[in-house]
Amino acid sequence: MPDKTVIITTLNEAWIEPNSIFDLFLESFKIGNQTLWLLKHLVVVALDQRAFDHCLKTHLHCYFLTTEGVNFSEEAHFMTPDYLKMMWTRIDFLRIVLQRGYNFVFTDADIMWLRNPFPHFYSDTNFQISCDSFGGNPSDLNNAPNGGFNYVKSCNQTIEFYKFWYKSREYYPGKHDQDVLNKIKYDPFVREIGLGIKFLDTVYFGGFCQPSKDLNLVCTMHANCCAGLDNKIHDLRILLDDWKNYLSLQEDARKTETPSWSVPQSCG
């Protein structure tokens, strides 16, 4: 974008099968409210050769990120060694993006983009992140962060923070990036470098952990609190059907009928 902001997602072979999560992810941009234009700013970081080849066929911006000695092509089950390597590879890659002067919105591919989220980001914060559970105060460190969606501006503070975050994996072995973030968000180092952290309201940035209750406001919905690709795909299809039904309503009906989600189901 003009301010050097890119949207980034990661992709591996397990997520590219026909009618996959990645297909649903792209469909959400196409049927979302004023989201189609955002696809030209999306960079897909492929973690294996087949994912990279698939990305190229979609005519998106694609980047092949290799990690020596690691096979990221199969589904990395939650908290397995390959899952942890994948998550920490992502954190280190995002540090490099910041060091090159780019701001980014990182989004997992199991997040549906239903509205343009940029008007709902905080203008006074360089690091903002979605939540599994939001308590109402965006500055409250007791909110439960979810690393699957965040907006980060390139500056000295965020670069130093990502270095610290990545280094901290050594002090919390066997923990994934989100658990480590939950530890280090209280660390005095964060205050010393002057980094402000804000948490995104689930009214706009919801998920299956804490769904956005108002379809008139929701921007993104995440298949969090859900294990297994099949379960995610099942519920995300229903979610997009709910969204299409909402869009088919007359504007007055959208405000008076207060339509709601039919999910989570398999993810429940």
Q: Are 155 and 214 in contact (CB under 8 A)?
A: no
Distances (CA, A) of 251 to 92, 114, 219: 44, 16, 17
Quick: pLDDT tens for 57-105.
988 999 999 866 555 545 444 445 566 777 788 999 999 999 999 999 9
User: What angle, 0 to 180 degrees and rounded to 10, lies between the N-to-C axes of helices 81-99 and 177-184?
Assistant: 60
Kindly state the percentage of the chain with pLDDT values over 90. Answer: 78
- The single-letter DSSP state of residue 33 is B
Closest listed residue to residue 267, CA positions, set 83, 15, 21, 16: 21
Closest listed residue to residue 73, CA positions, set 41, 50, 100: 50
- Distance separating alpha carbons of residues 176 and 186, to the nearest angstrom: 17
Q: Are 39 and 22 in contact (CB under 8 A)?
A: no
Q: Whole-model pTM above 0.85?
A: yes
Q: Phi, psi (5° rounding) for residue 163? A: -60, -45
Note the pLDDT of residue 230: 93
Which sequence spans correspond to the domains of the chain? 5-201
Tokens of 267: 């993810």
- Distance separating alpha carbons of residues 60 and 66, to the nearest angstrom: 19
pLDDT tens digit at each of 268 positions of the chain = 999 999 999 998 888 888 899 999 999 999 999 999 999 999 999 998 999 999 999 889 999 998 665 555 454 444 455 667 777 889 999 999 999 999 999 999 999 999 999 999 999 999 999 999 999 999 999 999 999 999 999 999 999 999 999 999 999 988 889 999 999 999 999 999 999 999 999 999 999 999 998 999 999 999 999 998 999 999 999 999 999 999 999 988 888 888 889 999 999 7
Considering the segment(s) 5-201 as one domain, its CATH architecture is: Alpha-Beta Complex (3.90)
Closest listed residue to residue 51, CA positions, set 83, 78, 75, 24: 75
